[in-house]
Chain A
Amino acid sequence: MNIAKPNSYRSGPDDRGHFGNFGGRFVAETLMPLILDLEKAYTAAKADPAFQAEMNGYLKNYVGRPSPLYFAERLTEHLGGAKIYLKREELNHTGSHKVNNVLGQIMLARRMGKKRIIAETGAGQHGVATATLCARFGLECVVYMGAVDVERQQPNVIRMEMLGAKVMPVQSGTRTLKDAMNEALRDWVTNVHNTFYCIGTVAGPHPYPTLVRDFQSIIGNETKTQMQEIEGRLPDSLVACIGGGSNAMGLFHPFLDDPSVEIFGVEAAGHGLTQLHAASIAGGRPGVLHGNRTYLLMDADGQIQDAHSISAGLDYPGIGPEHSWLHEVGRVNYLSATDDEALAAFQLLSRLEGIIPALEPAHAIAKVMELAPKRAKDHLMVVNLSGRGDKDVPQVGDILRGKSK
């Protein structure tokens, strides 16, 4: 493929929401006026210093930012190569990076006068973050979650209910994240007059991929400053896991125009790329779903295929459109990690650093285990620790006990 290199990797999307050939607004007419309103509201909010100031207040005192950039000394020693830093998004209130985006969207919803919030969730982290901010601001909250995920992420279901949200188990299709998103879109079409759809990743119709990216970019911006303070320079590489790609985009975006920084996104390879998996770039091709054109897992007829990952948050047959573009222009390298590799990384980080990661970023750690030993000792590698593993403890416990039997 012959794709011209852009002058900047950070100027997208165009005014119709396209990143190269990806993105766009593929939605039902019922939603279109609202999506245009949202774009207007977001543009106005971005230009309003009061909006940013209010956000910054909550980010500091409610979310607990900045999150630390922590030198993982024992992991570094163990792998014997690059110097590994963890961006500690798991220390945020609610336990993952998802809250950065939810805060921004809830503040937008308030500006737009919407009193009812809906969300889709896979691992439940986005659902918990949404339920949390709805509790904080007194908004009605409905969270759609695939019935399979309701089973495997029980702790988060209980949390959402305690926070006053209504969790709707989705029985259609594969009963995972993709179906939760379908059901949320159906709710939105039905209740468009009073409802704000708080999307949990850099996907959906324009302007969602952009606004979610912007709200998550605090991860990369902080990393840049912190690394400058600690090491006096830029990092040499970045690694993050990818479900829809929001934690990855948040870390990557501020560095896209720093050519010395190598960037790695890690998709979920499930049982392996020749079997059931959730790696849309490695195993998919461009198609149109959930409001945008992007890489998708599908069959020859354009029917969407079942994804599989041990991690509910990565179990999605697509990826955000900006990632598809960054893949095609070659700025980001997309790798993948299997269920077993993620499980091994989950245990390694727990034992060496005393940090139990969520299964999602365990995929990123799994690739760090491959990449770091091949890098020099002065190579600075940052991995986004997007969430903590509390929600996964019952599931991983069962798997490990089952295995050791």
Chain B
Amino acid sequence: MTTRIDIRFAELAKQGRSAFVTYVMAGDPDLTTSLDIVKALPKAGADVIELGIPFTDPMADGPSIQAAGLRALKAGMTLKKTLELVRDFRKDDNVTPLVLMGYYNPIYIYGVDKFLTDAKTAGVDGLIIVDLPPEEDDELCIPALKAGLNFIRLATPTTDDKRLPAVLANTSGFVYYVSIAGITGAAAADANVVGEAVARIKRHTRLPICVGFGIRTPEAARAIAEKADGSVVGTALVDALKNSLDAEGRATAKTVNAVAELTAALAQGVKGAQQAAE
């Protein structure tokens, strides 16, 4: 099985370039604006899109992404509408990889089999589910692989060499290295420390390794891009979105551009990186 993720990373490897991965919350601040934002991301330079599934109790997220999820839910977002958003995005973009990221409960309640069928049909390429470690692979990971979706696992600073093989066993698409022990929006990790961690994981897998958590600026993205196959930015984009809203938390004429402009600046940073010699 080859997904848009596999194809994209193969292309980037050929170009000798690190991927720029953007995270935004589906339905933030409302469905229409959110679709416009997602459509704008590839044009602004995003190589891979991570789309958050809103959840009331995101226990690995900091205040910015918590608030984004609550804005989306307040505006009526659901998992069903998230899949509709993906389907609408796919009408004019059949190449940019799209990964859904979130927590298990909404998927469990939607029904795993139905969700996998609907997600695949809508044009989802992979899943990152924060609260499904390898110990729970039977729940969603194995069925997702069977359904032709990538299951992208998080590896963290606490995942030692003994545990890495278990974490990597059913991982596909790419590996998401969480650069710090912490929640989204926390302080950044030192690029050199990250580089060592990436090298350590590389000894166990040939999958691309993207690094996220704590990357906010073009300079930071560039530093990470020199050490890894991709850098993920989420909280900074969500903050840019939030700062463009009106006092009632509604979208303004500036909202889509605010996210697109920061995306472009970050993408520029990533593209300026000297890829580490393989």
A30 near B158 (CB under 8 angstroms)? yes
- Quick check: which of B12-20, B103-111, B241-249 contacts chain A, the rest being far away? B103-111
Chain A, Cβ-Cβ closest to B159: A29
Q: Does B135 contact A (CB under 8 A)?
A: yes
Q: How far is the CB of A351 from chain B (nearest CB, A)?
A: 41
Q: Does B132 contact A (CB under 8 A)?
A: yes
Q: Whole-angstrom distance between the alpha carbons of A179 and B58 in the complex?
A: 10
A287 near B108 (CB under 8 angstroms)? yes
Q: Whole-angstrom distance between the alpha carbons of A31 and B163 in the complex?
A: 12
With a 10 A CB-CB cut-off, give which of A24, A289, A293, A303 has the most chain B CB atoms. A303
B59 near A290 (CB under 8 angstroms)? yes
A303 near B59 (CB under 8 angstroms)? no
B186 near A25 (CB under 8 angstroms)? no
- Quick check: which of A45-53, A81-89, A146-154, A185-193 contacts chain B, the rest being far away? A185-193
B56 near A303 (CB under 8 angstroms)? yes
Question: Known: A24-B136, A34-B158. Contact between A301 and B108, CB under 8 A?
Answer: no
> What residues on A are CB-neighbors of B63 within 8 Å?
172
Q: Does A182 contact B (CB under 8 A)?
A: yes
A178 near B57 (CB under 8 angstroms)? yes
Tell me the dominant secondary structure on chain B's binding face.
loop
Q: Does A16 contact B (CB under 8 A)?
A: yes
A26 near B131 (CB under 8 angstroms)? yes
A186 near B183 (CB under 8 angstroms)? yes
A28 near B154 (CB under 8 angstroms)? yes
Q: Does B182 contact A (CB under 8 A)?
A: yes
Interface code A349-367, partner B: CB below 8 Å = 1, 0 otherwise? 0000000000000000000
Q: Does A304 contact B (CB under 8 A)?
A: yes
B108 near A302 (CB under 8 angstroms)? yes
Q: How far is the CB of A179 from chain B (nearest CB, A)?
A: 8
- The chain B residues found within 8 Å of chain A, CB to CB, are 54-63, 66, 73, 78-80, 103-110, 130-133, 135-136, 153-160, 163, 167, 178, 181-183, 186
Given contacts A189-B59, A190-B186, A304-B105, 19 further A-B contacts (CB under 8 A): A24-B135, A25-B135, A28-B59, A29-B156, A30-B154, A30-B157, A33-B159, A34-B158, A172-B63, A179-B57, A189-B181, A190-B181, A191-B181, A288-B104, A291-B131, A302-B105, A302-B108, A303-B56, A304-B57
